[in-house]
Amino acid sequence: MTENPHHLATPGGKPRARSFGIGFDGTPGPFNAITDVPGIAVGYATLISGDGALVVGKGPVRTGVTAILPRPRAELATPVFAGIFSQNGNGELTGSHIVEETGAFNFPITITNTHSCGVSRDGTLRWMHQVMPAALDCGWGLPVAAETYDGFLNDINGHHLTSEHVAEALDAAAGGPIEEGSVGGGTGMISFGFKAGSGTASRIVGWQGNSYTVGAFVQSNFGKRCNFALRGLRAGPELVEPAIREGSPRAEKGSIIAVIATDAPFLPHQMKRLARRVPLGVAMTGGFGYHSSGDIFLAFSTANPAAAQAPSGRIANADFIPDSDIDPFFDAVIQAVEESILNALVANDDMTGRDGNFVPALPKAWLREKFGLKEKSG
């Protein structure tokens, strides 16, 4: 079992899946996070306030926004080669059309709740105009913003997220170990009837004497309890309790957003191929892509910056690993996505939101019983 403290606990002391002795395939990076990819930074703004009956516009509030910077702040105008895949399109990811058209995007990525997706998109443009005005002086911006639904716990129609919160998350973005669970856009999210939200993991892939990193970040908000699986264990049937308690009716509105980042040199069509492997990692935890689930996945590579912003009038050159050698990177995506989802579940506590709606955490005692270890802290 790993003794790396970053693999066992979040910076805030929340347990991660490996702290219970759960075994995973592949080799994680130093932080076991998307931030193991050089230049990637993650920041959050978390909004938690109020209790009791829902009063639209006042709360209770259980939401937030996550910001992912695909390049260092000074290089955010430089595009990254990218691909997207929608397993089930009952959701939103802005900027998807230009990614499909050009195989690239620039500016930060944000993830929030369904009814604040436009705010996070526009807030990103406001922030970029402040920190890098030249990037917008002579052109337009089409930032990537994604969403999942948190209306069971949050006053989602109260529109509590503002551009200032988006700027807060962007300003807070940093590398290194990052928090998981009920933080940022994942604050009000639920998976398999347990409290979930933000999760991350990474894998190291060797190729021709070089070492590359594949990192995953998920906003996990999907799945039925009966389907939940943990490393091959069909856990759902024996985890009927603790159950969600509803003070107000709950509709099935589940989704998952996953962002895959790598420093391996790949072309846009190859990034789309990596994005298409995300559902396999989701399926390993029991996600089946039901009708109401928005399962939308983005993959990008930080390699080839010169080719991604090549000027007109000259031939552009890009390095890339051949498609015939891509399989280990498929493995890395699937492994990192599975672990990211489980980290989002493990690094969590019970939460009560609007109208007394209650979502339990995945029971830690059950994890200790099944995997035979007491969780360790960092």
What confidence tens digit (pLDDT) does each residue in 226-252 have?
A: 999 999 999 999 999 999 998 766 655
What confidence tens digit (pLDDT) does each residue in 102-143 have?
A: 999 999 999 999 999 999 999 999 999 999 999 998 778 999
Calpha distance 315→310 (Å, rounded): 8
Looking at residue 263, what is its pLDDT?
A: 98
Looking at residue 1, what is its pLDDT?
A: 60
Q: Is 191 designated active site?
A: no
Q: Is 163 designated active site?
A: no
| Whether pLDDT at 271 is above 50 | yes
Structure tokens at 345: 């579940």
What confidence tens digit (pLDDT) does each residue in 316-366 have?
A: 999 999 999 999 999 999 999 999 999 999 999 999 999 999 999 999 999
- Active-site choice (19, 120, 202, 255): 255
Looking at residue 308, what is its pLDDT?
A: 82
Calpha distance 287→293 (Å, rounded): 10
| Contact assessment for residue 351 and residue 153, using Cβ atoms and an 8 Å cutoff | yes
Q: Report the pLDDT averaged over residues 190-197.
A: 97
Domains of the chain in start order, with CATH, are: 5-39+72-106+178-367 (3.60.70.12)
Alpha helices in 38-116 (DSSP H): 96-102
Cα 61 to chain centroid distance, Å, stands at 21
- Under the banding of pLDDT at 50, 70 and 90, the label for residue 372 is confident
Helix (H, G, I), strand (E, B) or coil at 261: strand
- Active-site choice (19, 295, 301, 340): 295
| Whether pLDDT at 220 is above 50 | yes
CA-to-CA separations, 58 to 32, 50, 145, 152, 355, in angstroms, rounded: 38, 8, 25, 15, 13
- Active-site choice (19, 182, 191, 293): 293
Q: Report the pLDDT averaged over residues 22-46.
A: 98
Looking at residue 250, what is its pLDDT?
A: 63
Calpha distance 17→136 (Å, rounded): 42
Q: Is 293 designated active site?
A: yes
Look up the pTM and report it.
0.96
Upper half-sphere CA count for residue 321 (Cβ side, 13 Å): 26
B/e letters for 112-132, b = 16+ CB within 10 Å, e = fewer, are bbbbbbebbbbbbbebbeeeb
Q: Report the pLDDT averaged over residues 215-236.
A: 96
Q: Report the pLDDT averaged over residues 33-40.
A: 98
